[in-house]
Structure 1
């Protein structure tokens, strides 16, 4: 039944995709982030939904009469530079066969992200993009939160198998990043019951993140909440709410959860933490030895035998930063950090330019909440191999579209230069005045 439901949803949406490429971009985000086919048990689990949606979107883009130009902004150009560098490092990968297989997967994500940057332009498209992300990840947040309540926090929450967020740590970080987006949408809901439902979804997502037993997610949610509190207009009320609700959530979790979180300060005694440190040392040593890094899929015993302090402890990177360093060298890490900084700066510019303008309040609030999501990703991602997870790149697309909308609304070009309005031509039927 679930397989048929997902299949009907996808094929029912294809006519809309062919009509307007923006709908194809949004459907791609849904299928790639939520992975609804993983919730079935039959043919849908292996059916090429993503491929069909991508082809339909590209066909729609080719025949569309809309001006779907690629936005030449600092963020988009930095992403292009990162993709270009990946294309340079892959031919020099340490394990070519595995690297080319991973390369194909990553290029699909990057390619469709570039398409999304072309087709998402209007405010309505931006809103839809945020809704698709919230629904896709909020589904697992609500489901995981209910599971945490039913189990009393004794069982871990896991994500959909075979996806970027299949692990407990990865799902927790995804939910942490979704909470600010839910907060943004909640304020625009027209009815009180809708706002209460969104607030409940936020609470359940937070419980699911705690129920994952992820230490990195705990650090990420603390950093994100502090940022959101700093951006809040009602700091006293926000502080009181945090003081009231956070202890209640923590007290709900069992003793074994507290024991797990206590290992944050005693990482030397934790084998998982020491494995991460070993992998990080390996990444640094490898990048010093190879300008272009080791390429995709390098986490093999041979790599650790050559570059790790403990050759026997083979681990994945467990860090977006050390993953970029190991796979693409110092240049790749530098481009990736530049991409994150430019995205943050663009969001900050949106907040600053929209301050005091009621008609652009939506953009200011969304940009601030995207910053909060990126704070969570920057902190939580320091402990997870999520360099190619697509959601942060989709948020970059939203920031690019928002900045263009704000510039258009304020009568300025995206680069910041004021648009010159044409001077009225003199009417030939009227006598010439003094010059």
Structure 2
């Protein structure tokens, strides 16, 4: 039944696109985020729905969609350079087979991020893309929130729509995304036009935000706790009553503590005492190896270059003696082929210093562009000019939360985040066009035919 429902919904979106080709763009965002082909087990999994939607989105825009307002910006150019660089490193990868497998989905994510701003040329389209991202990710979040609230959470055991721990369904990734979309939910609740704000929209938005906050608890992902802290600090900038906000947030946190499972406390305690956490020691060792590797291979080793690492690090071994006495000794432990567990070191190891520079430039430029939109559009009085600055803030906060979360997980090419970058590019282009003076066509004065007297006076015959 689930298989038929997913297939029917996808077919309905594709049919709607015959009348409005932009719907195919939304269909690809939905499929790329939710991965229904992994949820279904028969019909949907047997059909290349992602490839069909990908081709439909591009073909519909090229053949039938309006190109008015479409512009190719600087960040799209940087993404194009990064795409070309990834292709070069893939052709010279240390592990060609594994690199080719990762390239199969990375290039699509980069190409779609470059293409998306060309289609988001109106406010309605920008809002539709954001709603599709939020509601699709929200479907995963709601599933996880319900399971967490009913006691089904736990590290590595909170299974969502699928039984694997990859992509959007990886614990730390969904925890990061869940917190990152909260600013977008708040923006849509206040400034949305597709679903005009009323009590139903507000109650759904608050319930979805609550589910988002439950995801870091249900997954027991330490990154999620850091992302919540980042969001809380960022929102201090624009909140009107800061003291009341801090007091309310602290009270809400204290009220939630009795309902948090003890396993969550045990896992979060490793943030304070990293020496007791083997995974933390492993990550530091991998990062040190990556820096040495990049110094010897400044152009990078291609996708999955981490498979060549091998290192030895110290592991604390605690021995409990009588009456609670504990002794600690450190033993050497050798490990190899350990993943980067950081987007920064993922880019450094795979794409070298040039790739890391491009990646940082793309993200830092996005933060700056959103800040510039906020300052230029903040406080405008016209009704149709009051949504741009809050949206820039929401996109900026979402990106900042991702950047903090990405420090501890290898999600440098996460398709959902690349789509978010595409929306940022679209908003930047839209605002620049809205602020630019209208182009006035210059009309040349029509040539006046001289009268007979003027022609004779000029020394010319009127018949010439």
Deviations 1:334-384 (A, max 9, x none): 110000011111111111111111422211111101111111111111111
Q: CA deviation at 1:102?
A: 1.5
Which residue is 2:98 aligned to?
98
The answer to whether residue 362 in structure 2 is matched with residue 339 in structure 1 is: yes
Q: CA deviation at 1:237?
A: 3.4
In 2, are the aligned partners of 1:152 and 1:254 still within 8 Å (CA)? Answer: no
The answer to whether residue 168 in structure 2 is matched with residue 168 in structure 1 is: no
Which residue is 1:34 aligned to?
34
In 1, are the aligned partners of 2:216 and 2:222 still within 8 Å (CA)? Answer: no
CA distance in 2, matches of 1:235, 1:425: 60
Which residue is 2:407 aligned to?
382
Q: CA deviation at 1:130?
A: 0.8
Which residue is 1:157 aligned to?
158
SS of the residue corresponding to residue 352 of structure 2 reads helix
The answer to whether residue 14 in structure 2 is matched with residue 14 in structure 1 is: yes
CA distance in 2, matches of 1:70, 1:104: 27
CA distance in 2, matches of 1:388, 1:308: 29
From the superposition, tell whether residues 421 and 355 of structure 1 become closer, same or farther in structure 2 (CA, over 3 Å): farther
Which residue is 1:181 aligned to?
184
Equivalences for residues 181-330 of structure 1 within 5 A: 181-188=184-191, 189-300=196-307, 303-305=308-310, 311-330=334-353
Q: How many residues align?
A: 420
Which residue is 2:434 aligned to?
409
Q: CA deviation at 1:422?
A: 5.2
Q: CA deviation at 1:202?
A: 0.4
CA distance in 2, matches of 1:115, 1:151: 42
CA distance in 1, matches of 2:41, 2:341: 30
SS of the residue corresponding to residue 312 of structure 1 reads strand
CA distance in 2, matches of 1:16, 1:308: 57
Q: TM-score, normalised to structure 2's length?
A: 0.84
CA distance in 1, matches of 2:38, 2:352: 34
From the superposition, tell whether residues 70 and 315 of structure 1 become closer, same or farther in structure 2 (CA, over 3 Å): farther
Q: 1:372 aligns with which of 397, 419, 424?
A: 397
The answer to whether residue 12 in structure 2 is matched with residue 5 in structure 1 is: no
In 2, are the aligned partners of 1:70 and 1:117 still within 8 Å (CA)? Answer: yes
CA distance in 2, matches of 1:368, 1:78: 22
CA distance in 1, matches of 2:241, 2:22: 37
Which residue is 2:323 aligned to?
none
Q: CA deviation at 1:324?
A: 0.2
From the superposition, tell whether residues 28 and 195 of structure 1 become closer, same or farther in structure 2 (CA, over 3 Å): same
In 1, are the aligned partners of 2:306 and 2:349 still within 8 Å (CA)? Answer: no
In 2, are the aligned partners of 1:219 and 1:380 still within 8 Å (CA)? Answer: yes
Q: TM-score, normalised to structure 1's length?
A: 0.90
In 2, are the aligned partners of 1:98 and 1:297 still within 8 Å (CA)? Answer: yes
Deviations 1:167-200 (A, max 9, x none): 2112111211121111111213421132012101
SS of the residue corresponding to residue 71 of structure 1 reads coil
SS of the residue corresponding to residue 240 of structure 2 reads coil
Q: CA deviation at 1:217?
A: 1.3
Which residue is 2:376 aligned to?
353
CA distance in 1, matches of 2:36, 2:258: 33
Could you say what the CA RMSD is over the residues aligned between the two structures, in angstroms?
2.4
Q: CA deviation at 1:424?
A: 8.7
CA distance in 2, matches of 1:319, 1:186: 33
- The structure that is strand-richer by fraction is 2
Which residue is 1:415 aligned to?
none
CA distance in 2, matches of 1:123, 1:240: 36
